[in-house]
Structure 1
Amino acid sequence: MSTRKVSIEDLPLNKFHWKITIYTAGGPFCDGYILSVIGIALVMMIPQLGLSSLMVGLIGTSALVGIFFGGLVFGYITDLIGRKTMYVIDLLVFVVASVLQFFVGEGWQLLILRFILGVAVGADYPIATSLLAEFTPRKHRGFMLSFLVLGWWLGAVTAYIVGYLLMDLGENSWRWILASSAVPSVIVLLLRAGTPESPKWLVSKGRIEEARENLRKAFGEEADIGDIPSDPPKTSFWGIFKRGYGKRTIFMSLFWMMQVIPTFAIMTFAPTVLFAFGVSEDAATLGSVVTSIFFLIGTIIAVFMINKIGRRHILIWPFLITGIVLVALGLNPTAPLIIVVSLFAVFAIFNGGSSVLQYVYPNELFPTEVRATAVGFGTAMSRVGAAVGTFLLPLSMSGIGVGPTMIIAGITCFIGFIVSLLMAPETLHLTLEESSRVKTEQDSEILNKKLFK
């Protein structure tokens, strides 16, 4: 009796899907933890290490610089050598670099370690998301990829909580706070060990029998790899700019940058921003934690809505709403406290919700041979936006005030709204091959009818 073959993207959910989703989300959890915990530790380490203002700024931005290079370089390397190997190596770097932070004696040592951690974080974005996308059924791909962003925010919130709890350990508490990121990293490293290579990547390299064997181990005899390309395109970094993909690369880079410019700036300096609106110093510190929780709430809502209302709606309208909110804050810098807090909560919920597309769109819009390269490039461009926003916000606050600064931040959201309205496709219900295939003018016309219907 023959077994009916089912495409990998039409398989029903099983334990393997949930396992790889959770294991993959562990990477973004560590990313959010590592990037957020430094803000708590910096306050305590400055007098002990005698850090200058310049060194503090360099340490604060070193991880962002590392993410730029990590995404740009290791996304391409992941497409060349495979997802499986890199999937484990980057977590090993998390563990080692996190532990070494405990032993730093000078600022430059921490600067180097934070840069290395940033490189590993930047590498994990394309590695983890591309592997998960290539194993996930199309009906659940949006949910599972957006779940990774939820992992990031859970990591960030956990970092704030752990940092707060460890603050009473004495003068070396900042060492324990920084090294604490080794704990979740070790756990995720152990969970990820043994994860099979992506069948779609193996097929793209002509390793058909290995792909079939991986599928059988993960899903049983009924799993099928689907159509096998007779002459699959070779992996090339420039492939994300050729064969019709240049427009998609521009769209991905622009919407991602317009999201993170106000997000990183406001989240990094949340207490300062709230204090400028008249919130007391203690309440402003608490407000930054509460704001991060609202970001998490927005992400949770989007995770469960993305497969119901589609990608375009979750991207377009939050850009418009957050732009209106930030401009309203900018025009009313002396508004009552309840109004200020409420508007920031609305910004956090909608901005956090739309951020799930950062992991979904790049994976859906590019083919297997350059999927990780595209995600890595988008990651790198987004860190340019994050660095610009983080660098300029304090200068703008001191130079032109909090009101005009919020208006400028709102304008970035409006730019994102226009870009998304004009360029964002709808990829709901499409297979990865359908959503990423743009090879000829005829193919483009057929695909566009499906994407924009």
Structure 2
Amino acid sequence: MKTAQTRSMDDAKWNHLHTLAAFCTLGGTVLDGYILGLIGGAIHAASDEMHISPLSQGLVGASALIGIFIGGLTFGRVADRLGRKVVFQWNLVAFIVLSILQLFALNMWDLTAYRVLLGVAIGVEYAVGAALLSEFVPARTRGALLATLQATWFLGFVAANFVGLAWADANWRLVLASSAIPAVVIAVARIWLPESPRWLQTQGRDTEAQEIVDKYFPTGTTLPPVEVATKSDRWTELFDKKFWRMSTYAGVFWACQVAPLFAIFTFITPVLDGLGLPSGFQRDFIMNMLQLAGVIVFIWVVGASRRRPLAIWTFGVIFALLFALGLFPHAPLIILAAIIGAYLFIAAGACNLEFVYPSEMFPTRLRTSGVGFSAAMSRIGAAATTYAFPALIASLGINAALLVLSAFALIGFIASVLWAPETSKSTIR
């Protein structure tokens, strides 16, 4: 039995460093969801003022997703080479500046540019946040805590929906700029967060890593073993014979989860109107609460489940629900409401895996590169569907548009059956 004198950092009791790391990471995830959710409430008022066409609305809605692709693909590798802390800290400064710049948007292209750059910053959070948190917290709480990241993301997303509904018509620029306020709070907290000891180990800086462990953990706490990075390490290693299948699956998994989700959530009002659900605050409130309930319930589900079967069955159910919405446009209203409610609950909850699964697939020396690549691939799907969705609705109708989106869940289901690894018992290496 391990004693306090020989306990690994992986087995340590929860302490204030874990709390700080959790706050800094969860706070960033709330901010991500808040920024992405604000555009759904603001886009209609902005479109009325700037005379934005449906296709251009799709571009504005997808702009942050395009930026996430750039940020995740680029800065994941930067964080593996230069360290977690420097990227994690300065990213919040970008959030603050870009949030405020939205106050001065004069046309669609200004707004799109600011949203793309905000997306780059969000991509950094996706690539670094979950990876950094997984490297700090004890192994016994890692799965559930990483699953909580998605719950906090939806908390921010839902809060943004309510802020948009309440104030976007009065001043949509101020609504978009409001994200600067939580960004300041989180930026200040990250000043006190040290570098990841695991990352320092991968760089051969074991003495510095042990100094951080000695400062924040009981005497005798040891560093866990990790794979040491070498000068020959390259981003392209993600696609060698050892990692290519895992990297490909991680990107497909994440893309197929978020592609229909972002399209539907960004344009939730026309979706619900097109399905015939009575409009009003009560409807919007119920739908938002179903999403939030899903991510809260799935914190436990992810913690109690193996990753592979969870990915498979959630993709299967989501495909069935979207397919049913598309195939039966004249179903009784109560049935349509139940199906869309079930979709919002399960799709939102299944997304808890996004911050858990990829972080467990890759070793520390490639973790933010792998997670960043996966996040980047996910945003190709999300940006494409969000950009095209308003035009699909206008040309094909809401039901056919939902049938198109169901194809992503089917692809995710097939890919999971063929390639999904089991990582729930894996150790962070």
With the length of structure 1 as denominator, give the TM-score of the two structures. 0.89
Amino acid of the residue matched to residue 68 of structure 2? I
Which residue of structure 2 aligns with residue 145 of structure 1?
146
- Shift in Å, 1:289: 4.8
- Shift in Å, 1:108: 2.7
Which residue of structure 1 aligns with residue 207 of structure 2?
209
Which residue of structure 2 aligns with residue 440 of structure 1?
none
Deviations 1:233-259 (A, max 9, x none): 754211211251101011101111111
Which residue of structure 1 aligns with residue 260 of structure 2?
262
Q: Is the 1:160–1:289 contact (alpha carbons within 8 Å) kept by the matching residues of 2? A: no
Which residue of structure 2 aligns with residue 250 of structure 1?
248
Amino acid of the residue matched to residue 350 of structure 1? I
Which residue of structure 2 aligns with residue 71 of structure 1?
72
Which residue of structure 2 aligns with residue 8 of structure 1?
9
Deviations 1:251-288 (A, max 9, x none): 101111111121112112222122222234x34x7545
Does 1 or 2 have the higher relative contact order (CA < 8 Å, sep 6+)? 2
Decide whether aligned partners of structure 1 residues 126 and 275 sit closer, same or farther in structure 2, where only a CA change above 3 A counts: same
Query: Which 10-residue stretch deviates more, 254-263 or 286-295?
Result: 286-295
Alignment of 1:143-292 (within 5 A): 143-167=144-168, 170=170, 173-227=171-225, 232=230, 234-280=232-278, 282-283=279-280, 287-292=283-288
Which residue of structure 2 aligns with residue 447 of structure 1?
none
Decide whether aligned partners of structure 1 residues 429 and 12 sit closer, same or farther in structure 2, where only a CA change above 3 A counts: farther
Q: Is the 1:325–1:343 contact (alpha carbons within 8 Å) kept by the matching residues of 2? A: yes
Q: Is the 1:273–1:402 contact (alpha carbons within 8 Å) kept by the matching residues of 2? A: yes
Of 319, 330, 335, the residue aligned with 1:323 is 319
Which residue of structure 1 aligns with residue 368 of structure 2?
372
Of 406, 416, 423, the residue aligned with 1:420 is 416
Is 1:395 aligned with 2:391?
yes
Q: Is the 2:147–2:303 contact (alpha carbons within 8 Å) kept by the matching residues of 1? A: no
Match of 1:157, SS state, is: helix
- Shift in Å, 1:3: 6.1
Partner Cα distance (2:51, 2:407) in 1: 39
Which residue of structure 2 aligns with residue 444 of structure 1?
none
Amino acid of the residue matched to residue 273 of structure 1? V
Which structure 1 residue ranges, 5 or more long, are not aligned?
A: 434-453
Deviations 1:98-144 (A, max 9, x none): 11211333333222211111110111111111111111222211111
Partner Cα distance (1:62, 1:181) in 2: 17
- Shift in Å, 1:52: 5.3
Partner Cα distance (2:328, 2:111) in 1: 40
Which residue of structure 1 aligns with residue 290 of structure 2?
294
Which structure 2 residue ranges, 5 or more long, are not aligned?
A: none
Q: Number of residues paired by the alignment?
A: 427
- Shift in Å, 1:394: 2.8
With the length of structure 2 as denominator, give the TM-score of the two structures. 0.93
Which residue of structure 1 aligns with residue 44 of structure 2?
43
Query: Which 10-residue stretch deviates more, 245-254 or 48-57?
Result: 48-57
Decide whether aligned partners of structure 1 residues 136 and 272 sit closer, same or farther in structure 2, where only a CA change above 3 A counts: same
Deviations 1:265-314 (A, max 9, x none): 2112222122222234x34x754553333222111111122222222232
Partner Cα distance (1:107, 1:229) in 2: 47
Deviations 1:24-53 (A, max 9, x none): 011111111111112222222334445455
Decide whether aligned partners of structure 1 residues 258 and 215 sit closer, same or farther in structure 2, where only a CA change above 3 A counts: same
Percent of aligned pairs with the same amino acid: 37
Decide whether aligned partners of structure 1 residues 42 and 273 sit closer, same or farther in structure 2, where only a CA change above 3 A counts: closer
Partner Cα distance (2:386, 2:109) in 1: 21
- Shift in Å, 1:190: 1.2
